[in-house]
Amino acid sequence: MTSWQQAAADDAALMNDFQTICRFGGRLSGTGQDEAAMEWALTRLREVGPDVRRVAVPYDGWRCLSGSLTLLGDTPVNLECVPLLRSASTDALGLEGTVLDLGAGRQEDFERAGDAVRGKIVLVRHEYPFSKGHVHRRRKYDMAVAHGAAAFLIANPLPGAGPLSGSSGRPRDGAGIPAAYIDHEGALALCAQPRARVRLLIQGEELRDSMACAGILDLPGGRDSRIVISAHMDGHDLGSSALDNATGVAVALAAARILAGQLGPGTPGLRICFFTAEEWALAGSARYLADMAATERHALKLNINLDTVAGDDTLCALISDYPALAGVVESAATRAGVPVSHWLPFMPNSDHANFARHGIPALRLVAGFDKPQSCVRHILSRGDVPDIILEGEMRNALAVTCAMASLALGMTDQELDALKSGSTCPRI
């Protein structure tokens, strides 16, 4: 056993913290569950260091008032649906239209259908989010809007797993179309007849002046520079957001406990950032970083973002088009004695993306990359519950996180700045 594995094994509170976070519920921003979980986390952080802050950040809040989908015909059938966060509303009677099945709903599917999309209620499929060729829900939604669709339905391809939950990414008062997740069985019903007609009803409410928050622990070292470990606290309300992201928060808390003793005059400081409104198109971390003074942001040298770090026995670092991070990942994996692959292309699927866009070398540690059959498939669904998480996976993620952060804490500012070299990550 490596010393990092030993340190990870010795952290007595890891699994208890994980279970505690899950007990706050799915922690959807706006429900108060994320705020309550954050208050608890701030208390935990204060046990590690005194400089703990709660930073309020505005975001475009929204609440679903009602959502329903009816397959019309001689005998109308109600199908389960979950409106996307920030979906456009239909009028009070709902929107009636013809369904157009676009299969996966990739660019070639929209191009093939061309003008036939206009005015239709398009049906596409959700894809396992952590894979090399993945096309994100929001890109499919944007293509539907661009092609003139009247509404957007996205089906969970997994039988018996229910619908999913996710954001449309539509900005406040922005143009958009009604959009909802449906389950596999609902998609089968819609495809069982040609030119199926449905009525989609979605009523949502803009919540002006909504505030999300970031919970920050700052542990000083010997110089101004900081290594940042982040994880988002918020989630979705179908399950208990165990994978996504109680795993990341619990591992970040444990990493803070373990690494606090490593800081000294020769090291940069360590900052732990817990975000909310991540599931709202990464709004919380975007605003936190945008509002920060440029000098403070410049001091952030590396972001290790923990999001869905258990649920499978494989780990991958998504290194956001910062090729120099590959060496850090490989070296840390060796020191931790836990294999970690890496994937170079920029994947804007968690808070690391906002760090990367500000020119800060950033990676996301994720479990189950390119393993669509792993337990990580339960992400965003009612199946995202604590029972599917294995303790050994959590402890491996912790050992790797500590090894990566420790490696960075041992680097000079010059060495840390060199991690930016060769990056083609899109900048803000």
Looking at the Cβ atoms of 289 and 380, the one nearer to Zn ion is 380
CB of 378 to Zn ion, least distance (A): 13
Site residues for Zn ion, 269-308, by CB under 5 A, read 307
Residue selected from 5, 245, 267, 406 as contacting Zn ion according to rule CB under 5 A: 245
CB of 43 to Zn ion, least distance (A): 23
Residue in 284, 319, 267 with CA at minimum distance from that of residue 56: 284
CB of 323 to Zn ion, least distance (A): 24
Looking at the Cβ atoms of 199 and 382, the one nearer to Zn ion is 382
Q: What is the largest CA-CA distance in the chain?
A: 76
Looking at the Cβ atoms of 168 and 245, the one nearer to Zn ion is 245
φ, ψ for residue 273 (rounded to 5)? -120, 120
CB of 308 to Zn ion, least distance (A): 6
Looking at the Cβ atoms of 154 and 201, the one nearer to Zn ion is 154
Looking at the Cβ atoms of 240 and 245, the one nearer to Zn ion is 245
CB of 232 to Zn ion, least distance (A): 6
CB of 216 to Zn ion, least distance (A): 19
- Rounded Cα distance between 222 and 238, Å, is 44
Question: At 84, is the secondary structure helix, strand, or coil?
Answer: coil
Looking at the Cβ atoms of 151 and 362, the one nearer to Zn ion is 362
Q: Is position 244 an interface residue for Zn ion (rule: CB under 5 A)?
A: yes
Tell me how many residues contact Zn ion (CB under 5 A).
Answer: 3
CB of 99 to Zn ion, least distance (A): 30
Site residues for Zn ion, 398-427, by CB under 5 A, read none
Contact (CB, 8 A) for 399 and 373:
no
Sheet strand arrangement including 77-79: 77-79, 61-71, 197-207, 95-101, 121-125, 151-155, 179-182, 81-83
Contact (CB, 8 A) for 338 and 363:
no
- Rounded Cα distance between 24 and 241, Å, is 10
Cα distances from 7 to residues 248, 391, 400, in angstroms, run 17, 14, 11
Looking at the Cβ atoms of 244 and 393, the one nearer to Zn ion is 244
* Residue 170 DSSP label: P
Binding segment toward Zn ion, per CB under 5 A, in 178-186, 213-221, 236-244, 369-377: 236-244
CB of 319 to Zn ion, least distance (A): 17
Name, in order, each residue with C-beta under 8 angstroms of 10's C-beta and a sequence gap of 6 or more: none
Site residues for Zn ion, 302-361, by CB under 5 A, read 307
Binding segment toward Zn ion, per CB under 5 A, in 8-16, 125-133, 173-181, 241-249: 241-249
Binding segment toward Zn ion, per CB under 5 A, in 39-47, 88-96, 238-246, 262-270: 238-246
What's the gap between Cα 285 and its chain centre? Answer: 11
φ, ψ for residue 57 (rounded to 5)? -130, 130
Contact (CB, 8 A) for 125 and 187:
yes
Looking at the Cβ atoms of 376 and 405, the one nearer to Zn ion is 376
Looking at the Cβ atoms of 186 and 235, the one nearer to Zn ion is 235
Contact (CB, 8 A) for 263 and 409:
yes
CB of 245 to Zn ion, least distance (A): 5
Show the site string, 150-169: x = touches Zn ion by CB under 5 A, - = not: --------------------
- Rounded Cα distance between 405 and 403, Å, is 6
Binding site for Zn ion (CB under 5 A): 244-245, 307
